[in-house]
Structure 1
Amino acid sequence: MSKKIVIIPGDGIGQEITDSAVAVLKKVSDKYNLNLEFESHPAGGTAYDLCGTPLPQTTLEAAQNADAVLFGAVGGPKWDNVEPTLRPEKAVLGLRKGLGLYANLRPIKVADALVEYSPLKEEIVKGTDVLIVRELIGGIYFGDKCESEIYEGNERAWDLENYSVPEVNRIVEFAMQAAKKRKNKVTSVDKSNVLATSRLWRRT
């Protein structure tokens, strides 16, 4: 049974990276009879140049119907002055939302051979094994925003941060399930002395 992988090269170095990654995946597929199928779709600045939007509906639908998505990188100086809602980075946010990708996983491990190069003391950094679990589709990135308005005689812009209990529940549950496979420890980082959203996180 074949598996479909949608390739979204994006812009600049993203295209070089995905070309190399696909070459490796094809070798792996051939060696282990994985029957991987590859299908490329545009996003980011390249898509904006082709279609007038950083995330064409056809790209999003292909990603939603794929078994996996291989994403390169988007953006570059060429598109710095594009209208904010059409900037290449909007493709990343659109894919996160459209695919329900609410959890970003960032593992941190320090190899013994690199311990001496850390600015931290050896006894602190040796054996470091941390997994940062970051919420991706709530909060300030997806809240209401204003690019420019005049307030009390001055121009200002604003971004609204908001979280709901279900959004907090699912990322915390994800972190706890990940912790069960590690050291059974979760640390929640917030700014509850200042932010109402952080107080909601802490209560939840």
Structure 2
Amino acid sequence: LLAGDGTGPEVMREGVKVLKAVQDAYGVSFDLVPYPCGGQYYLDSGEEWPAEAFQSCKAADVILLGAVGHPDARLPNGDLAGANVIFGLRFGLDLYANVRPVKLYPGVPHKIHDEFKQVWKPDLVDFVVVRENTEGLYTPARGTLSRGGTDEVAIDSRVITRKGAERVIRFSFELAIR
């Protein structure tokens, strides 16, 4: 369990309640191991997460991650403290597929133009968005050719490998046929 910052601890508390209800209802058991992480932890300790947290996550069957990032917590290079928790998990565990299900449920209004309404039929909205999670935006090749003035050029390329594209496409296809 990596609760993190902001709404993370609040959401994590509710998630743990759900896990405990599943344990009670189905007779399964979970070994819930919490680790502090994120911007507030960085402000308190000088680290984004404990050294042993990654190995624990690597050995786990499931990782529950809350929100990470505190507006006042910046690394010496100016980056937001806590981001290395997310990227450490993504790259360290090769979590290449970002899976975002979208589903509406009967009787649960959805927010449209700042109002909660029932606009669409819930049985007509059920899809999944999948995107690559370790390349592209996350592996930029950047640089600046500094000539000064109007001749200054900045480059920000997105690296996408054949392997990375093929595996997320294959994952998406296999998910779609299930």
- The TM tier, using the shorter chain, reads 0.7 to 0.9
Structure 2, unmatched stretches of 5+, are: 114-118
Per the alignment, residue 163 of structure 2 pairs with: 166
Encode CA deviations 1:17-76: one digit per residue, 9 max, x unaligned. 112211331232133221211111122113323442324431111100111111111112
**CA drift at 1:138:** 0.8
Per the alignment, residue 200 of structure 1 pairs with: none
Structure 1, unmatched stretches of 5+, are: 1-6, 182-204
Check conservation: 2:103, 2:122, Cα contact below 8 A. no
Encode CA deviations 1:116-161: one digit per residue, 9 max, x unaligned. 9868xx8999713321111100112123445xx5722158765431
Check conservation: 1:106, 1:131, Cα contact below 8 A. yes
Task: Identify which range, 166-175 or 104-113, moves more after superposition.
Answer: 104-113
Alignment of 1:69-108 (within 5 A): 69-79=63-73, 83-85=77-79, 87-108=81-102
* Alignment counterpart, residue 152 of structure 1, candidates 136, 147, 161: 147
- The total of aligned residue pairs comes to 171
Encode CA deviations 1:93-116: one digit per residue, 9 max, x unaligned. 221111211111112234566899
Check conservation: 2:132, 2:168, Cα contact below 8 A. yes
* Alignment counterpart, residue 30 of structure 2, candidates 27, 36, 43: 36
Check conservation: 1:150, 1:156, Cα contact below 8 A. yes
Q: How far apart, CA to CA, are the structure 2 residues paired with 1:62 and 1:173?
A: 29
Cα distance change on mapping 1:116 and 1:131 into 2, 3 Å: closer
TM-score by length of 1: 0.69
Q: How far apart, CA to CA, are the structure 2 residues paired with 1:140 and 1:10?
A: 23
Residue identity matched to 1:151: S
Cα distance change on mapping 1:159 and 1:63 into 2, 3 Å: farther
Alignment of 1:160-199 (within 5 A): 160-181=157-178
Alignment of 1:7-156 (within 5 A): 7-79=1-73, 83-85=77-79, 87-111=81-105, 127-145=124-142, 151-153=146-148
Please state which structure has a larger fraction of its residues in helix: 1
Encode CA deviations 1:148-175: one digit per residue, 9 max, x unaligned. x572215876543101111111101001
User: Over aligned residues, Cα RMSD in angstroms?
Assistant: 3.2
Q: How far apart, CA to CA, are the structure 1 residues paired with 2:86 and 2:23?
A: 27
Cα distance change on mapping 1:157 and 1:14 into 2, 3 Å: farther
Per the alignment, residue 185 of structure 1 pairs with: none
Identity %: 30
Check conservation: 1:140, 1:159, Cα contact below 8 A. no
Residue identity matched to 2:61: D
